[in-house]
Structure 1
């Protein structure tokens, strides 16, 4: 524990905790939307359990850092002229996670669009089982945790006691998200337009995961390498869209 007597350790811990919270907001939104399918008395339980599973998943992945890094080695190479790729373990996880997010988000949007009655949108039929929701949360936790841990590893590379710092950052960030998960969940679920916006964000994130997975596998299409979408662009788009929607909500309330 002597590492916590150094100023650099606290800077790394605070920075990493902040980033873990930012990266975890997507997870909170997904968990909220999935848990909202359950009866009201089980929503809070599913949300907290989902976040607890996210914490456990991230800590387990932290202890498997060396294995995660080894997943960069390609195990399958394809070359059909106009399309080239060298598939790795990391890219497969991100690609499958992105596809799952796209499917889940577009399916949710379809259900909302088909049901145009606002009362029904707010009171989504509770037809899904608790077990099914938890399985969905576990699957997406793995994807979000994978991306989060890779970011943490990159940030603390070369820092003394890096593993301990990352574990503390994960625990602190999850506790903070647990505290604020209920107001976030209530706000998203009680405002249909915010819910649609959140689902749209998840589509963007899913697409970003797919492009990141393609980039990690050095995919080339017509001799053009697939690049990574800078996360800053994505977060700016989300923040800007959310700001505009906040203004719209205030205008509607005044009217």
Structure 2
């Protein structure tokens, strides 16, 4: 995951075999909380995009619901560690399905690609679902459909009757999509936490604290995304990038997440500079 992630992981591993109530355990709690927040960025971006399609008065509830479900899902998975670890055991080998001998030998030579586990199938479904959602939203934006503000559709001319007739987005459908992706993101997050620490209370506390931090800033992040169309398009692009990461893990060729997070951070910095330049230009024209 990159140097920062390795540093966090090493600090947790050092504290893995120490007593629960000790300074090293507190260090492990802090490190795991930081890790959970970093891993939760994907979830926040997805929730911000989906809740943006709801009426303004319902967005805050949907965001909190999504994050609370994510917290509950992660705690539940932590308490089912045995079952969770079984998901990483192979359930089928692609080489056994290959019709050609040379292909079977090629697949058998790479266990990561050849062996398919329950976790791989879940990540595959999640990656495809996330990519479909992101591409659909980008299509809506390019076509000029204002599903993030239902009231805007009422102001469109008669020629846009097709857009007006489009069914409004319901709270139930948004909450369902959030819940589905919560399962995917929680799975990856919990597997990382289980591999980094041995004390269940520390892992649960880290999840609760990290979700509390994300809830605190979720509204500000989501409102910022909604207020700036270019940032929203960038966020949708991030979702496609995240879906590619999930799919790459599913097929046994994982992409280093450190590179992905660096690319996302660099893109945001450039976008913030553009927004600041645009704001300054508007102020100069106003004078």
TM-score when scaled to structure 2?
0.78
Q: 1:41 to 1:47 in 2, by over 3 A?
A: same
Query: How far apart in 1 are the matches of 2:148 and 2:190?
Result: 35
Query: In structure 2, what is the equivalent of residue 199 of structure 1?
Result: 236
Query: In structure 1, what is the equivalent of residue 254 of structure 2?
Result: 228
Query: How far apart in 2 are the matches of 1:30 and 1:94?
Result: 16
Query: In structure 1, what is the equivalent of residue 26 of structure 2?
Result: 10
Query: In structure 2, what is the equivalent of residue 222 of structure 1?
Result: none
1:142 aligns with 2:168: no
Query: In structure 1, what is the equivalent of residue 171 of structure 2?
Result: 130
- Farther-moved stretch of structure 1 (74-83 vs 195-204): 74-83
Query: In structure 1, what is the equivalent of residue 269 of structure 2?
Result: 243
Q: In the TM superposition, what is the alpha-carbon distance from 1:191 to its structure 2 partner?
A: 0.6
Cα deviations by residue, 1:168-227 (Å, 9 ceiling, x for unpaired): 000000011111111001001111111111111111110011111111xxxxxxxxxxx3
1:67 aligns with 2:86: no
SS in 2 for 1:75: strand
Cα deviations by residue, 1:216-251 (Å, 9 ceiling, x for unpaired): xxxxxxxxxxx3210100000000011001101111
Query: How far apart in 2 are the matches of 1:147 and 1:59?
Result: 13
CA contact (8 A) 2:147 2:169 kept: no
CA contact (8 A) 2:54 2:149 kept: no
Larger Rg: 2
- Farther-moved stretch of structure 1 (20-29 vs 71-80): 71-80
CA contact (8 A) 1:122 1:190 kept: no
Query: In structure 2, what is the equivalent of residue 114 of structure 1?
Result: 143
SS in 1 for 2:202: helix
CA contact (8 A) 1:122 1:191 kept: no
CA contact (8 A) 1:35 1:133 kept: yes
Query: In structure 1, what is the equivalent of residue 206 of structure 2?
Result: 169
CA contact (8 A) 2:52 2:148 kept: no
Query: In structure 1, what is the equivalent of residue 120 of structure 2?
Result: 91
Number of residue pairs matched by the alignment: 236
Query: In structure 2, what is the equivalent of residue 33 of structure 1?
Result: 49
Query: How far apart in 1 are the matches of 2:240 and 2:136?
Result: 11
- Farther-moved stretch of structure 1 (81-90 vs 56-65): 81-90
Tell me, which stretches of 5 or more residues in structure 1 are unaligned? 216-226
Cα deviations by residue, 1:68-110 (Å, 9 ceiling, x for unpaired): 1111222222222447432210101111111111111111111
Tell me, which stretches of 5 or more residues in structure 2 are unaligned? 1-17, 108-113, 154-166, 282-287
- Farther-moved stretch of structure 1 (2-11 vs 33-42): 2-11
Q: Aligned Cα RMSD in Å?
A: 1.8
Q: Within 5 Å, give how 1:171-186 maps onto structure 2.
A: 171-186=208-223
Query: How far apart in 2 are the matches of 1:250 and 1:108?
Result: 26
Query: How far apart in 2 are the matches of 1:3 and 1:109?
Result: 50
